[in-house]
Chain A
Amino acid sequence: MSILAGDFTYSARRIAKRLPVSLVIMITLALGIGANSAIFSIFNAVLLQKLPFPAHDELTLVKQIKRLQGDANASFSVKEVDELHHESHAFKSIAEYHTMVFTMVGRNELTRVAAGVVSSDFFNDILRIKPQLGRTFSASDDVIGAPAAVLLTHEFWQSKFGGSKSVVGTYLTMNDRQYQVVGVLPPFPQFPNANDLYMSVSSCPFRSSEFVINSREARMLSVVARMAPDETLEKANTDVDTVSHRIIQANPASYPSQDGYTMSVIPIAEELIREVRPTLYTLLGTALLVLLIACANASGLLLAQNVERQREFAVRSALGCSRWRLARLMLTEVVMLAIGAALFGLALAYIASKFLNVHVASITGLATQAHIDATVLGFTFGLAILAGLIAGALPAMGTRYISSVLRENSEKSTAASHKNRGRKGLVIVQLAVTFVLLMGAALLITTVRNLQRVDLGFSSKNVVVAEMDLNWSRYGTAEEQRNFAKTLESRLQQMAGVQSYAVAATYPLDLAAENNPADRADVVFDDRSSEERSGRINSLVRRVSAGYFSTLGIEIADGRVLLASDDENGAAVAVVNRQLAKQHWPNASPIGHELSLDGGATWLKIVGIVGDEKRFALSEPPRPQVYVPYVQHPSWGRLNILLKATNPSSYEQPIRAMVHELTMCRRSIE
């Protein structure tokens, strides 16, 4: 033992004596180790650790699927959740969930607040989360008419209330209504989305409205359920399938056969990691390759150091040091360097994981659980020792030729040639790994270049977008929404230097529209028979003002675009994109034809055709889109300002001030 201690002492002395080189080796390894530790901390939290909920194997998501439309997230209505609750037998508890955006009024500011609206079982029977302060929701909070109650997330409590314990019992003003804070939640991986606070179902004005409660088609809820302890996933799927069939048979009008409605049950754990798994494997693989390069570099530096140690090794050999002891001595030093590198690496990992967490947390809430714990420490030091052994292996193997230093000169050249072979091997490994990484980088650059060449169908040059969420308590009716949009337009018109502007419910590549049913519709056409109408197409519907096309530079292919005169008093009109026109009138012009977005109840005259603008992704092929005047089809929810000017960033403050003046909240200007 004292011999081993002697090796450590000697190695420490050498490291201290050659500090600059030692630091270079440590930092080289630290970069690789730090990158791996940062990624592993998330990998560990997301893919290796069990969900931090009691009996997590029982936790599932129930999904309604429009199989024939390729829609795996059709959501549930309140009626459907009630039926699932009463008719299914596979679950011990079922809870509903949806998100809303509220405007919280503070002393000097308005804050956009993401609220998860959940039934009481969500925290009690399903996630089984104990509050950090106060209480969670009880069954009485679910009853319509109960006092409005909210639970703060740990993060929101810390950031907005400074972690004050006296917050429980106080009231928050959101969308002109007061909500009592009944408790504070501990940190937990939020899903399906991260929210600032949680609200009982009876507290949500939208969820507790008569329309939402009574309409089978008002589908906006997710369903989270805890299986009964003796149930299996297979039995649960059979169970919800039975319920789904019964509901569809009883209400055929609400479940068109061409949609292929069905239900399925999936484990929450799978849902939480499904999207992020390939990303994490790729990141970890890349980081390991980087570490391999770092090891090769460190190994090269160690080999260079060993040239000056040849005589020392030769003397040790002459004095009876075996090859193994010599290798152990060298590896002791390298492993000590690697452990030093691990300490540097942990510091790097701590910083890097903060950035990585933000990115991965947007894909899975489990990333918020990532931190440097015992497992990550074990991984880091294990990796460091492995890296040290890899980096030190070649120099240690070289010791077998070292006793030749004490022999004839002619033999020294033999040793040198062996060493050269080792260095050449190192260079080959470095080149090979670097080549793999460079290929990956080249592919990435090519992809980015290709994406830059993609015809977007619009121009974002000099355009600024301001997102806001209408306070539906204040702008609940179509008239109020229409008037507000008009007020915004008139205020934008008065701004000096503005080239063009528009208000619109969605804008190109706006992911918020992807999952919003209000921005989609099944389109039917006037020149199709009722049989043919069953083959209707699902289209994105953009509710925009007249300036939308000029602001975004969208090509006018035929006819005209929407005009300011296409208001609530004008004829109902629509503009379609080239893809929709080509798909349904391949040999004729659609201009003058009519289309309906509500199954034939009302009809809109097609007045123009515009180019295909990308909807949600650069890689997607052109898809059908319909443009309608916002003032003819106003709605609550998101409203965006698009403004084009020579110096668009200078309008950030004026827009912010205008919105504030109009007592709305906007969160971001892009």
Chain B
Amino acid sequence: MSSENNQTVVRLDKVNRLFQTDKVDTYALADVNLTINKGEYVAITGPSGSGKSTLMAILGLLDVPSNGQYWINGTPSSALSASQMAEVRNREIGFIFQDFNLIGDLTVYENVELPLTYRDMSRSERKERVERCLTQVGMMPRAEHYPSQLSGGQQQRVAVARSVVGTPSLLLADEPTGNLDSVNGEAVMKLLSNLNQDGVTVCMVTHDVRYAQAAKRVVKLFDGRISEDNAAKVQAS
């Protein structure tokens, strides 16, 4: 946090992401500048191929920029080793995926506990946190079930619980309602809103205009560039 405003969770400075193939070079992201502050709820939208997923991968430290710099909580990602990135992902970032990505051989409880097992944390503390999060998403009664025994909406609620169990400073949600019906979609969106109200910074990729409007700030991407960002409007309001 040293040189950064300690309210800034994400800062991208002229970030490019180039994919090189034998025949053609493709810029998935081009000169992207983006700052997300603590407590913001940001929706990233744009057509397919606009670079939303690439942006999420870079924000989630699953990918690195070809050029430019990315700071997370004031730390430049370029200064992080692979194991340090894993640690930052574990402690600072929560992920929610479109297709839930629960691990089929683990129970609901174990899936939610998983991020905590990568930390030096006592069993009792893990238990307390997991039970709290499962209760929060209404899945405690299904703690010993396996993902295959749950509906899509239930699985996504478990995934939400898993994403916040480690109390991350940034929650990245990639099309979290993409595989859900409207009722379950609404429920998940409500969970995200509640989390944001509790102080969690949320950055969500979505195609759905309704859900995008639920976010306070909307960033639109087109051809790898930010075409619209209503940050100023949000700040003003």
Chain B hits for A406, CB < 8 A: 57, 62, 97
A408 beta carbon closer than 8 Å to chain B: yes
> What's the minimum C-beta distance from B228 to chain A, rounded to whole angstroms?
23
Chain B hits for A14, CB < 8 A: 105
Most buried by A among B89, B104, B110: B89
A211 beta carbon closer than 8 Å to chain B: no
- Whether the Cβ atoms of B28 and A408 lie closer than 8 Å is yes
CB contact between A320 and one of B21, B110, B115 (< 8 Å): that residue: B115
> What's the minimum C-beta distance from A318 to chain B, rounded to whole angstroms?
5
- Whether the Cβ atoms of B62 and A3 lie closer than 8 Å is no
A2 beta carbon closer than 8 Å to chain B: yes
- Whether the Cβ atoms of A3 and B103 lie closer than 8 Å is no
B13 beta carbon closer than 8 Å to chain A: no
A510 beta carbon closer than 8 Å to chain B: no
Which one, A79-87, A322-330, A579-587, A623-631, is touching chain B? Answer: A322-330
- Whether the Cβ atoms of A322 and B83 lie closer than 8 Å is yes
Tell me, in angstroms, the Cα distance from A104 to B80 when the chains sit together.
85
Interface string of B121-145 (1 = CB under 8 A from A): 0010000000000000000000000
Q: Which of B89-106 contact A (CB under 8 A)?
A: 89-91, 95, 97, 101, 103-106
B54 beta carbon closer than 8 Å to chain A: yes
Chain A hits for B166, CB < 8 A: 320
Tell me, in angstroms, the Cα distance from A450 to B53 when the chains sit together.
69
CB contact between A410 and one of B19, B60, B87, B95 (< 8 Å): that residue: B19
- Whether the Cβ atoms of A320 and B105 lie closer than 8 Å is no
A10 beta carbon closer than 8 Å to chain B: yes
Tell me, in angstroms, the Cα distance from A325 to B115 when the chains sit together.
12
B214 beta carbon closer than 8 Å to chain A: no
CB contact between B114 and one of A319, A403, A410 (< 8 Å): that residue: A319
CB contact between B60 and one of A3, A312, A318 (< 8 Å): that residue: A318
Tell me, in angstroms, the Cα distance from A321 to B62 when the chains sit together.
12
- Whether the Cβ atoms of A319 and B95 lie closer than 8 Å is yes
Contact (A324, B90) CB under 8 Å given A3-B117, A6-B117, A403-B62 = no
Interface string of A294-329 (1 = CB under 8 A from B): 000000000000000001101111111111110000
Contact (A325, B62) CB under 8 Å given A13-B105, A320-B90, A408-B54 = no
Q: Which residue in chain A gives the minimum CB-CB distance to B58? A: A407
Q: How many interface residues does chain A have, given as a range?
A: 20 to 34
- Whether the Cβ atoms of B53 and A408 lie closer than 8 Å is yes
Q: Which residue in chain B gives the minimum CB-CB distance to A400? A: B82
Tell me, in angstroms, the Cα distance from A406 to B123 when the chains sit together.
30
B86 beta carbon closer than 8 Å to chain A: yes
> What's the minimum C-beta distance from A316 to chain B, rounded to whole angstroms?
7
A17 beta carbon closer than 8 Å to chain B: yes
CB contact between A315 and one of B63, B101, B110, B119 (< 8 Å): that residue: B101
Chain A hits for B26, CB < 8 A: 410
> What's the minimum C-beta distance from A494 to chain B, rounded to whole angstroms?
80
Chain A hits for B105, CB < 8 A: 10, 13-14, 17
- Whether the Cβ atoms of A315 and B123 lie closer than 8 Å is no
Most buried by B among A312, A314, A324, A408: A408
Most buried by A among B86, B97, B103: B86
CB contact between A407 and one of B57, B87, B91 (< 8 Å): that residue: B57
- Whether the Cβ atoms of A320 and B123 lie closer than 8 Å is no
Contact (A318, B89) CB under 8 Å given A13-B105, A406-B57, A407-B63 = yes
- Whether the Cβ atoms of A321 and B86 lie closer than 8 Å is yes
Q: Which residue in chain B gives the minimum CB-CB distance to A3? A: B117
Tell me, in angstroms, the Cα distance from A323 to B90 when the chains sit together.
13
- Whether the Cβ atoms of A320 and B62 lie closer than 8 Å is no
- Whether the Cβ atoms of B83 and A319 lie closer than 8 Å is no
- Whether the Cβ atoms of A323 and B101 lie closer than 8 Å is no
Q: Which residue in chain B gives the minimum CB-CB distance to A17? A: B105
Chain B hits for A323, CB < 8 A: 82-83, 86
Interface string of A382-404 (1 = CB under 8 A from B): 00000000000000000000010
Q: How many interface residues does chain B have, given as a range?
A: 20 to 34
Tell me, in angstroms, the Cα distance from A662 to B104 when the chains sit together.
80
CB contact between A318 and one of B21, B87, B95, B110 (< 8 Å): that residue: B95
Q: Which residue in chain A gives the minimum CB-CB distance to B20? A: A410
> What's the minimum C-beta distance from A322 to chain B, rounded to whole angstroms?
4
Q: Which of A325-382 contact B (CB under 8 A)?
A: 325
Most buried by B among A14, A324, A406: A406
Tell me, in angstroms, the Cα distance from A530 to B29 when the chains sit together.
109
Tell me, in angstroms, the Cα distance from A450 to B70 when the chains sit together.
74
Chain B hits for A317, CB < 8 A: 62, 86, 89
Interface string of B14-51 (1 = CB under 8 A from A): 00000101000010100000000000000000000000
CB contact between B118 and one of A2, A17, A312, A321 (< 8 Å): that residue: A321
> What's the minimum C-beta distance from B109 to chain A, rounded to whole angstroms?
12
CB contact between A316 and one of B63, B82, B91, B114 (< 8 Å): that residue: B114
> What's the minimum C-beta distance from B73 to chain A, rounded to whole angstroms?
15
- Whether the Cβ atoms of A312 and B103 lie closer than 8 Å is yes
- Whether the Cβ atoms of B62 and A318 lie closer than 8 Å is yes
B217 beta carbon closer than 8 Å to chain A: no
> What's the minimum C-beta distance from B107 to chain A, rounded to whole angstroms?
10
- Whether the Cβ atoms of A320 and B162 lie closer than 8 Å is no
Tell me, in angstroms, the Cα distance from A14 to B63 when the chains sit together.
30
Chain A hits for B21, CB < 8 A: 410
Tell me, in angstroms, the Cα distance from A53 to B195 when the chains sit together.
78
Contact (A319, B115) CB under 8 Å given A403-B62, A408-B28 = yes
Most buried by B among A10, A320, A323: A320
Tell me, in angstroms, the Cα distance from A403 to B89 when the chains sit together.
12
Q: Which of B172-221 contact A (CB under 8 A)?
A: none
Tell me, in angstroms, the Cα distance from A453 to B203 when the chains sit together.
83
Tell me, in angstroms, the Cα distance from A6 to B86 when the chains sit together.
20
Chain B hits for A411, CB < 8 A: 19
Q: Which of A13-41 contact B (CB under 8 A)?
A: 13-14, 17
Chain B hits for A316, CB < 8 A: 103, 114
Tell me, in angstroms, the Cα distance from A311 to B97 when the chains sit together.
12
- Whether the Cβ atoms of B123 and A319 lie closer than 8 Å is no
Chain B hits for A322, CB < 8 A: 82-83, 86-87, 118
Q: Which residue in chain A gives the minimum CB-CB distance to B106? A: A10
Tell me, in angstroms, the Cα distance from A2 to B53 when the chains sit together.
36
Tell me, in angstroms, the Cα distance from A396 to B97 when the chains sit together.
25
CB contact between A324 and one of B83, B91, B97, B110 (< 8 Å): that residue: B83
Chain A hits for B87, CB < 8 A: 320, 322
> What's the minimum C-beta distance from B165 to chain A, rounded to whole angstroms?
10
Chain A hits for B62, CB < 8 A: 317-318, 403, 406-407
- Whether the Cβ atoms of B53 and A311 lie closer than 8 Å is no
- Whether the Cβ atoms of B101 and A320 lie closer than 8 Å is no
Chain A hits for B60, CB < 8 A: 318
Tell me, in angstroms, the Cα distance from A6 to B60 when the chains sit together.
26
Tell me, in angstroms, the Cα distance from A6 to B126 when the chains sit together.
13
Chain B hits for A10, CB < 8 A: 105-106, 110
Chain B hits for A321, CB < 8 A: 86, 90, 118
Chain B hits for A408, CB < 8 A: 19, 28, 53-54, 57
B residues within 8 Å of A by Cβ? 19, 21, 26, 28, 53-54, 57, 60, 62-63, 82-83, 86-87, 89-91, 95, 97, 101, 103-106, 110, 114-115, 117-119, 123, 162, 166
User: Can you list 11 A-B pairs with a CB-CB distance of less than 8 A?
Assistant: A14-B105, A314-B101, A317-B62, A319-B118, A319-B162, A320-B86, A320-B119, A322-B118, A323-B82, A407-B63, A410-B21
Known: A318-B101, A322-B83, A323-B82. 4 other contacts (CB 8 A): A311-B101, A315-B101, A319-B89, A324-B83
